[in-house]
A and B are shown apart, each in its own frame.
Chain A
Amino acid sequence: MSYEAPASDHGDHDSPYEGLFGGDSDHWAFGTDFDDPLAGIEAAIPDGADPRALAQYCLMLGDDALVLSHRLSQWCGRAPELELDIALANIALDLLGQARLLLARAASADPSVVPPLPGSSDGLPSPVPAEDALAFFRDDRAYRNAWLAEAPNGDFGQTVARILLFATARLALLERLRASRDAVLAAVAAKGVRELAYHRDFAARWFVTLAQGTEESRGRVTAGLAEVWRHHDELFRAHPVERELAGAGVAVDPADVAGEADAALATVLAASDLPWPRVPQAGQLGGRSGRDGAHTEALSPLLAEMQSVARAHPRGRW
């Protein structure tokens, strides 16, 4: 998850990407002029915001993106068409980029959330960036994502339904978060809005296409929608941390964007000739939700896969 420049001790192995950053940009006809979303952003914690709450909030937003990013990357090489394979990977990478910035913000707001490296008692400084340590060395109970993000992929129809629900809710949230008093969150939201607008468009187009396609595709996407819709309410249920920071003008209370998100979902359902789903809602276990670290059995196998290499080589450099 770190994009550090390759270390110079790699000798003769020149990085093929070196010319993309600075240097003679005329050399490249395509693909230059990348933006740093945090360029010139003030990183101070806003007055009146509890840094520990801010860190927890960043973990909630970051873990949603990280966990769904991993789920979508599991489609790599398996999507129905080559073009869809790349489209799903693009969405996964957008979310991974959001996760990286948000986890880094969590670590800078409250360094105590960053887990120590396994077996590191030698006193040496960690070679692992804080956002990587958060991604790779936390157990499932320390993850703060909603259950919608961790649920299994199902078939392509179910995956489309999940992206539709997720992107619609997150887009509505980030649109308001652009006005956050935390300059970093506002910048991450501004970047994310453009990405999520495309994710929602991708999912909505495919949802309508499948729903209005053949009997088989309509049946599958309807079943997939019913499956992911169990997590609808969970997305708009505010955690105390979200409410507290929303009161300080730093976060957005997800309950406040439910109407807006539902209106967008209703448009897609109407174009698909499908009724508003009525399914029992999931998302809590003994009164605790994903935001409290309570998760379904789907999360720990996902993390085991995602974290296996980093945990095998905790001090490895990449």
Chain B
Amino acid sequence: MTEWPLYEVFVRGKRGLNHVHVGSLHASDDQMAIRNARDVYTRRNEGVSIWVVRSDAITASSPDEKDPLFAPSGDKVYRHPTFYEIPDNVPHM
């Protein structure tokens, strides 16, 4: 039997601001992936919206490129808005 393709699943929670990657699953097509995601990842009342995308459609950065991609930002503290006072009641900063 041929394996169903792998999908990545993103769920937006009730109080979440954006879709968050929650895991992956197998499905034969996009619609079945949505249904399977509903059954596998929202059974504890977690979600109000689901995105699915075939895993092979995702282009990912390679661990080999870690240094040139991410190391340069490690010492540039002035890029953070740390000179502003942020009131306590401003959420999601």
The residue from A30, A83, A209 contacting B44, defined by CB atoms under 8 A apart: A30
A85: shortest Cβ distance to chain B, in Å?
A: 9
Contact B39–A87 (Cβ < 8 Å): yes
Q: Cβ of A269 < 8 Å from any Cβ of B?
A: no
Contact B40–A86 (Cβ < 8 Å): yes
Classify chain A's interface size. 10 to 19
Chain B residues whose CB sits within 8 angstroms of the CB of A34 once the complex forms: 45
Give A92 to B14 CA distance when docked, in angstroms: 25
Q: Cβ of B84 < 8 Å from any Cβ of A?
A: no
Total number of B residues with any Cβ neighbor in A under 8 Å: 21
Contact B43–A202 (Cβ < 8 Å): no
Contact A29–B43 (Cβ < 8 Å): no
Q: Cβ of A31 < 8 Å from any Cβ of B?
A: yes
Chain B residues whose CB sits within 8 angstroms of the CB of A209 once the complex forms: 28
Q: Which chain B residue has the least Cβ–Cβ distance from A83?
A: B36
Contact B39–A83 (Cβ < 8 Å): yes
A152: shortest Cβ distance to chain B, in Å?
A: 24
Q: Cβ of A90 < 8 Å from any Cβ of B?
A: yes
Q: Which chain A residue has the least Cβ–Cβ distance from B3?
A: A81
Contact B16–A29 (Cβ < 8 Å): yes
Give A86 to B40 CA distance when docked, in angstroms: 6
Q: Which chain A residue has the least Cβ–Cβ distance from B28?
A: A209
Contact B35–A202 (Cβ < 8 Å): yes
Q: Which chain A residue has the least Cβ–Cβ distance from B13?
A: A30
Q: Cβ of B79 < 8 Å from any Cβ of A?
A: no
B93: shortest Cβ distance to chain A, in Å?
A: 16
Give A202 to B44 CA distance when docked, in angstroms: 19
Q: Mark B37-61, 1 if CB is under 8 A from A, else 0.
A: 0011001111100000000000000
The residue from B4, B36, B40, B46 contacting A30, defined by CB atoms under 8 A apart: B46
The residue from B15, B26, B28 contacting A29, defined by CB atoms under 8 A apart: B15
B92: shortest Cβ distance to chain A, in Å?
A: 12
Q: Cβ of A42 < 8 Å from any Cβ of B?
A: no
Q: Cβ of A205 < 8 Å from any Cβ of B?
A: yes
Q: Cβ of A122 < 8 Å from any Cβ of B?
A: no
Chain B residues whose CB sits within 8 angstroms of the CB of A202 once the complex forms: 35
Known: A29-B15, A32-B14. A90 touches B43 (CB 8 A): yes
Give A298 to B17 CA distance when docked, in angstroms: 50
Contact A32–B45 (Cβ < 8 Å): yes
Contact B15–A81 (Cβ < 8 Å): no
Contact A31–B44 (Cβ < 8 Å): yes
Give A83 to B36 CA distance when docked, in angstroms: 6
Give A30 to B48 CA distance when docked, in angstroms: 10
Give A209 to B4 CA distance when docked, in angstroms: 14
Q: Which chain A residue has the least Cβ–Cβ distance from B43?
A: A90
Residues 201-232 (chain A) with a chain B CB within 8 angstroms = 202, 205, 209
Chain A residues whose CB sits within 8 angstroms of the CB of B40 once the complex forms: 83, 86
Q: Which chain A residue has the least Cβ–Cβ distance from B11?
A: A30
Give A90 to B14 CA distance when docked, in angstroms: 20
Chain B residues whose CB sits within 8 angstroms of the CB of A86 once the complex forms: 39-40, 43
A residues with a Cβ closer than 8 A to B are: 29-34, 81-83, 86-87, 90, 202, 205, 209
Contacts A30-B13, A33-B45, A83-B40 aside, 6 further interface pairs with beta carbons under 8 A come to: A30-B11, A31-B44, A32-B14, A83-B39, A86-B43, A205-B31
**21 interchain pairs (CB within 8 A)?**
A29-B13, A29-B16, A30-B16, A30-B44, A30-B45, A30-B46, A31-B46, A32-B14, A33-B14, A34-B45, A82-B25, A83-B26, A83-B39, A86-B39, A86-B40, A87-B35, A87-B36, A90-B39, A202-B35, A205-B32, A205-B35
